[in-house]
Amino acid sequence: MYLFVFLTLLQVVFIIVFLLISVAYSTLLERKILAIIQRRKGPNVVGVFGLTQPLADGFKLFLKEPVLPSNSNKFLFLLAPVISFFISMLAWGVIPFDKTAMLSDINIGLFYILSVSSLGIYGIILSGWASNSKYAFLGAMRSTAQMISYELPLGFTILNVAVCCGSLNLNSIVYAQRHCWYIVPLFLPFVIFFIAGLAETNRHPFDLPEAESELVSGYNVEYSGMTFALFSLAEYANILLMCFMSSILFLGGWLPPLAVLSFIPGSFWLGLKVSFLFCLFVYARAILPRYRYDQLMFLGWKSLLPLAIGHLVFTIAILYVFNLYPH
């Protein structure tokens, strides 16, 4: 019993450390890609080729003094980033990194991730309200409306995968793509999922909650030091989660593109797919203009949601007519 608990805690620590390192170096990758697109060098001073820049940034934020606004609710102000960071870590317990490399293999893993990811809004709402700042409060309200709007098309696209696979287990979804990745028959849901993922993580061109030209920095404008770092870690952890989910649902997860390449570890293929999708997130930031808020709402409610519902009905009809329901 004690050995089982110890091994489970060891796995949890390993996943958290792996995730923190991945988040740190994903920021470096983003800055390097943006530098290449904008024809500049990017981070190249701290360490060889700037490889220790994320460590230096983290150390700097750790040493900075956290500033508490005098009129804020200090308890909730400090609690908000902790909630955001903690919730961003919860979903990783059911992510399959390989055939057997996962913390928990539960049958409702898909619903678990949807449920946990929807809780992240509470940290943002608390930060906006507890800061007692109009910019932070407006950013929190924008983020709330945006996440509610885009969770609906996100959920309907995931249902396309669920009805094709006949299971909510993430490993089963990966195994169901042995012969054909779901991106081929479900290309439109993949595009909708990617766009909704950009909006869910408040990424460009849907970064209205953090619009510097309007809200200075949005819901985290009053934060500094480690409290700001926790929000940043939560944001990039959610981006990586969206990349992992896209890979698992539509790109075969840890499965290789060809059966003859199955001798290469599955975690390598999953990492390659996640890296590719993360680069798409960065390219969207570099090349797309920011949406107006009314355009953001129009896209979510009047474009993506009808498309997602329509494609779900179409998928169910095809499966029913041709008797293709998974057994």
**How far is Cα 194 from Cα 191, in angstroms, rounded to an integer?**
5
Q: Tens digit of pLDDT for each residue in 265-311?
A: 878 888 899 999 999 999 988 888 888 888 888 888 888 999 999 99
User: For residue range 44-98, what is the model confidence (pLDDT) as tens digits?
Assistant: 888 788 888 888 888 888 888 877 877 878 888 888 888 888 888 888 888 888 8
Q: Does a structural domain hold residue 274?
A: yes
Q: How far is 121 from 144, CA to CA, in rounded Å?
A: 6
pTM (predicted TM-score): 0.90
Give the whole-angstrom CA distance, residue 50 versus residue 42. Answer: 8
Number of domains the chain contains: 1
Segments forming the whole domain that contains residue 92: 67-321
What is the per-residue pLDDT for 212? 61
Q: Among 137-141, 206-210, 278-282, which is the least confidently predicted range?
A: 206-210
Residue-level pLDDT at 230 = 87
37 occurs within a structural domain: no
Angle at 319 between CA 327 and CA 168, to 5 degrees: 50
Residues with Cβ < 8 Å from 20, sequence gap 6 or more? Answer: 233
How far apart CA 127 and CA 140 sit, in angstroms, is 7
